[in-house]
Copies of this chain bind each other. A is one copy, B any other.
Amino acid sequence: MKKIKRKDFIKKTSLVIGAGATGVLTSCGKKEEKDSASIHTREKLEWKMVTTWPPHFPIMGEGADRFAKEVETMSDGQLKIHVYGGGELIPPFETFDAVSQGMAEMGHSSAYYWAGKAQATQFFPGVPFGMNPQESNAWLYYGGGLELWRELYSKFNLIPFPAGNTGAQMGGWFNKEINTIADIKGLKMRMPGIGGKVLTEAGGTTILSPAAEIYTNLERGVLDATEWVGPYHDYLMGFYKIAKYYYYPGWHEPSGGLELIINKSAYNQLSKSLQEIIKIAAKALNISMLSEFEKMNIEYLKKIKQEKSVEIKRYPDEVLRKLKEITKKVLSDITNKDEMSKRIYDSYSKFQKEIYDWSSLNRNY
């Protein structure tokens, strides 16, 4: 494995600064003219995949690259996919629009980024205090989750596929100790998504610091805390050098599901064979990316444990209990306002309750 330096990592990461998902689609990615009438079985195709990751970003970007190679090999060269990191062809957070409008045929990302398009997207990667990756996949593939996801994306002319998972995330890096829920009051923390809403509701201040500035902001006290991903990516960001505490569990993101999105019109023009290749390769990517995250998180958790200046701490039970209560309120606020969010979360939470009855039998020996 190649060694990655913190500065290079942050430089890469800064390409995907928290621009949000509201960017306007520019026309920098010109759509190639194609004979849309029919694509014959052996005709060679070249597709573009845009991503929200920096080029060749550890695991996510590398996984997208691997997916492209696999598809090319499986199709015997018939479908060649050019993978673009965020900012290479279009800004990262225009991925959804670009694929929706056909400027690129595919995208790799997290559905979590598109809450500005449709609130309900954010339920697919994972929900605070929700299911773990294995449980989430059961919901997506066999519990009706993916059907709902397809329905939601259909009006954007997109077909989604589960395609990777960060695994459970960590609670984040703190320079203030969290002993009671009162310690959240006034806490300046970088935490996007539903988790961020929970934090705000608990009295904290969420600050959407661009990735490249989190380190400095944490160092200077502009931020008291930040969550990021898990041990591997967090280590590369260097937070262990300037934060006192590394909290767990990542209650806000117990599963970090990623997505492959495909322009529906482009997909429908493919032969059955290429459609199946993409579908199956996405499924394989889903398990291989999660497995790689697990492996790398093990390695980097060990490294972080060796840092004497960092204390790895568990959120107190009482704090987790309160955060869980607040999460219920935040989720109910979202689902009360949006019909599709309600349908999706109803399906998710019913499955969660039932799978816990099963999963809980298999733990703790």
Residues of A within 8 A of B (CB): 41, 70, 73-76, 129, 132-135, 137-138, 140-143, 167-168, 170, 231, 248-251, 254, 271-273, 276-277, 280-281, 283-284, 286-288, 290-292, 294-298, 301-302, 312, 314-315, 320, 324, 351, 354-355, 357-358, 361-365
Contacts and interface: CB of A to CB of B under 8 A. Distances in A.
A249 B361 CA distance: 6
B362 A248 contact: yes
B295 A138 contact: yes
B137 A291 contact: yes
B74 A287 contact: no
B76 A271 contact: yes
Q: Is the interface of A mostly helix, strand, loop or mixed?
A: helix
A168 B363 CA distance: 9
Contacts of A291: 137-138, 140-142
Nearest to A295: B142
A358 B294 contact: yes
B294 A75 contact: no
Contacts of A284: 280-281, 283-284, 287
Q: Which 8 A-B pairs have the closest CB atoms?
A: A138-B294, A142-B295, A283-B284, A168-B362, A76-B273, A248-B361, A73-B276, A287-B287
Given A133-B134, A135-B294, A137-B294, 9 more contacts: A138-B295, A141-B288, A141-B292, A168-B361, A280-B281, A281-B284, A298-B358, A302-B357, A315-B365
A294 B362 contact: no
Contact of A142 (B129, B272, B292, B363): B292
Nearest to A140: B291
14 contacts: A76-B272, A134-B290, A134-B294, A138-B294, A141-B287, A142-B296, A168-B361, A249-B364, A250-B362, A254-B362, A286-B287, A298-B357, A320-B365, A324-B365
Contacts of A296: 142
B142 A294 contact: yes
Contacts of A273: 73-76
B363 A249 contact: yes
Given A138-B291, A287-B287, A292-B141, A354 B302 contact: yes
A355 to B, nearest CB: 5
Contacts of A324: 365
Nearest to A73: B276
B248 A70 contact: no
Contacts of A292: 138, 141-142
Contacts of A168: 361-362
A276 B361 contact: no
